[in-house]
């Protein structure tokens, strides 16, 4: 563990890769949640609405794999989003599988949230620079893909 001083603030650089990534994830999630609060969404809800917009009729299991979320968290989040009228169940050919789609309210909320999400994206890009942001997303993607196998 390394300690760094920033003016009157002290920061600790964690040696554990997992702990470092979890810390960064918590901090950036708080920033995105604050930005998306203006549209009454969390970054998790925004991500799921975006995933359903891009994959209409997706099953929860499809999104569990794509987003590396656990089934319980996804089911609980979908129940809240369904309650709020943002998504709706819809039956596919296999009646045993539940498919999900955006409602008109979900599409409207997503549209309302997009400028706030873009502002959060730009803020991160300004802080890190375009090259480091690209490296970060590339590294995070590669790490997730390699760890999934």
Q: pLDDT digits over 20-47, tens only?
A: 899 999 999 999 999 999 999 999 999 9
**What's the rounded Cα separation, in Å, for the pair 128 and 61?**
34
Residue 7's pLDDT band (boundaries 50, 70, 90)? Answer: low
Task: Locate all alpha helices (DSSP H) within 37-103, ordered by sequence.
Answer: 43-54, 60-67, 71-83
Average pLDDT over residues 128-146: 94
pLDDT digit string (tens) for 70-106?
999 999 999 999 999 999 998 767 667 789 999 999 9
**C-alpha closest to that of 110 among 85, 86, 93, 134:** 86
Tell me the domains of the chain and their CATH numbers: 28-148 (1.10.10.10)
pTM beyond 0.75: the answer is yes
Cα separation, 123 vs 107, whole angstroms: 24
Strands 9-13 and 2-6 turn out to be: antiparallel
Q: Is the pLDDT of residue 117 over 80?
A: yes
Mean pLDDT taken over the chain: 89
């Amino acid at each position: 563990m390394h300690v760094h001083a920033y003016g009157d603030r002290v920061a600790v650089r964690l040696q554990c890769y997992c702990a470092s990534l979890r810390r960064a994830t918590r901090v950036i999630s708080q920033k995105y949640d604050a930005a998306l609060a203006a549209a009454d969404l969390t970054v998790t809800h925004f991500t799921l609405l975006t995933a359903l917009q891009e994959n209409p009729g997706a099953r929860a299991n499809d999104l569990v794999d794509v987003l590396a979320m656990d089934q319980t968290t996804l089911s609980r989040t979908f129940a809240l989003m369904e309650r709020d009228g943002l998504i709706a169940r819809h039956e596919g050919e296999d009646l045993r599988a539940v498919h999900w789609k955006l409602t008109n309210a979900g599409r409207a909320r997503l549209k309302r949230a997009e400028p706030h999400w873009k502002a959060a994206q730009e803020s991160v890009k300004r802080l890190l620079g375009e090259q480091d942001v690209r490296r970060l997303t590339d590294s995070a993607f590669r790490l997730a893909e390699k760890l999934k196998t």
